[in-house]
Amino acid sequence: MVLSFPSGHSTRGGPSADQLGVIRQYAEALGRPVRLMEVCGTHTMVAFRSGLRSLLPENVLLISGPGCPVCVTPNGYLDTAVELSRRPDVILTTFGDLMRVPGSNSSLEKERARGAAVQVVYSPLDAVALARERRDKNVVFLAVGFETTAPGIALVLRTAREEDLQNFLVLCALKTMPAPMRALASGGEVAIDGFLVPGHVSVVTGARAFAFLAEEFGIPCVVTGFEPVDLLVGIGMLLRQLTEGRAAVEIEYTRAVTPEGNREAQRMMAEVFEGSDAEWRGLGNIPGSGLGLRDSYTLHDAAARFGLEVAAGRELAGCRCGDVLRGVLAPPECPLFDRVCSPASPQGPCMVSSEGACAAWWRYGRRG
């Protein structure tokens, strides 16, 4: 079959194809259900908000994956953050997404309403600036995120070390994407025919970091951008690989992603962090899937400073966020969905985060 379709750099000024038409032709040629996982929470939101999901052929299914940092952060971490916020010697700083996530007993939003010093920051740079101003307090930054976010946090940690800002600390729960994708590919719980690979994680890691998915597991991968048309082109490129019986890592998001990634960002991460095991909500403990502080940065480790141990935490009874994050359960299949769990009173993180699969379904998916 010969179909004109942009791939890689040829998307620029490439053929003026009707992207949906191309998707339909490939889908028909395949003639079987195809399950594609959009790993990144931002992709999930774009797919829902744009209405793109409802335009896809019936046999092309998009499943949401574990690429929402807030969603995969286990309750134990939130409990520790709540505990820290109650210390009078601490100002807690965090990205806004974490504020409303319920821990075992409380949330940061509730603690702030009760008078705790919890500040939402746009950037870790704001947190380190606060530490310079408030030498009388320990400014703790909640380091949650993936490879997109980790280099900036590494950079501020290095700055704090150089300036001997001993009152700047992080509670580190940074994670990396390749390991959970390996776990999903090898787990066998969900058959995944293709991955839409997170675009902004790949800006840092490079597309090559995901090559093993194609080489070892034979799963086609396309690193995709964040405009609706990027997603359509990415889906088309995945279907094309499937139609042609190929598995490779291709880049749709060529305006931001290279095979090698951002070497300076990688170097910065490696200087400050080392690989560690990490706990993922829904996926459990995955060896080598986290970033821990190197020994030379222990002085800036909030857990070490205050002798805290991040425990397992208690998950809310009935909450199926874990299954949603593995792609095993679609949000409307959760018994809590839209009954007791909604964005106004979220029971689990996938409903709290604006990028969570449950929030996306609730806002955009219910109309079909």
Please count the CA atoms within 13 angstroms of the CA of 124 that sit on its side-chain side. 24
Angle between helix axes 228-244 and 19-30 (nearest 10 degrees) is: 30
Of positions 53, 175, 182, 200, contacts other proteins by CB under 8 A: 200
What is the nearest approach in angstroms of other proteins to the Cβ of residue 202? 10
Give 177 or 302: the residue with its C-beta nearer to other proteins.
177
Give 157 or 336: the residue with its C-beta nearer to other proteins.
157
What is the nearest approach in angstroms of other proteins to the Cβ of residue 200? 4
Of positions 70, 131, 302, 324, contacts other proteins by CB under 8 A: 70
C-alpha angle 296-276-259 in degrees, rounded to nearest 5: 100
Applying CB under 8 A, the span of 18-26, 76-84, 311-319, 342-350 interacting with other proteins comes to 18-26
Residue 140 binds other proteins (CB under 8 A): no
C-alpha angle 303-119-76 in degrees, rounded to nearest 5: 35
Give 279 or 355: the residue with its C-beta nearer to other proteins.
355
What burial class does residue 263 get, using C-beta atoms within 10 Å of its C-beta: 0-12 exposed, 13-18 middle, 19+ buried? Answer: exposed
Query: The tokens of 56 are what?
Result: 């896809």
Residue with token string 């960002």? 265
Of positions 15, 288, 318, 335, contacts other proteins by CB under 8 A: 15
Give 230 or 336: the residue with its C-beta nearer to other proteins.
230
Backbone φ, ψ for residue 142 (5° rounding): -80, 100
Give me the sign of the Cα torsion angle 270, 276, 281, 283. positive
Give me the torsion for CA of 296, 300, 304, 306, rounded to 10°.
160
Residue with token string 């900036």? 152
Of positions 27, 36, 62, 67, contacts other proteins by CB under 8 A: 67
Give 167 or 254: the residue with its C-beta nearer to other proteins.
254
Angle between helix axes 263-272 and 150-162 (nearest 10 degrees) is: 60
Residue 146 binds other proteins (CB under 8 A): yes
Of positions 19, 25, 107, 347, contacts other proteins by CB under 8 A: 19
Residue 224 binds other proteins (CB under 8 A): no
Of positions 40, 78, 185, 321, contacts other proteins by CB under 8 A: 40
Of positions 26, 48, 95, 361, contacts other proteins by CB under 8 A: 95
Query: The tokens of 205 are what?
Result: 């890691």
Residue 145 binds other proteins (CB under 8 A): yes
Q: Are 39 and 65 in contact (CB under 8 A)?
A: yes
Of positions 66, 76, 102, 198, contacts other proteins by CB under 8 A: 198
Residue 203 binds other proteins (CB under 8 A): yes
Of positions 130, 233, 286, 351, contacts other proteins by CB under 8 A: 233
Please count the CA atoms within 13 angstroms of the CA of 362 that sit on its side-chain side. 22
For the segment 255-284, give every residue that binds other proteins (CB under 8 A): 255-256, 262, 264-265, 268
Residue 301 binds other proteins (CB under 8 A): no
Residue 360 binds other proteins (CB under 8 A): no
Name the strands in the sheet holding 273-280, side by side, starting at the edge strand that comes first in the sequence.
118-120, 90-94, 138-145, 168-175, 284-293, 273-280
Query: The tokens of 37 are what?
Result: 């996982």
Residues near other proteins, by CB under 8 A = 6, 11-21, 40-42, 67-70, 95, 97, 122-126, 144-146, 148-149, 151-152, 155, 198-201, 203-204, 226-227, 229-230, 232-233, 254-256, 262, 264-265, 268, 353, 355
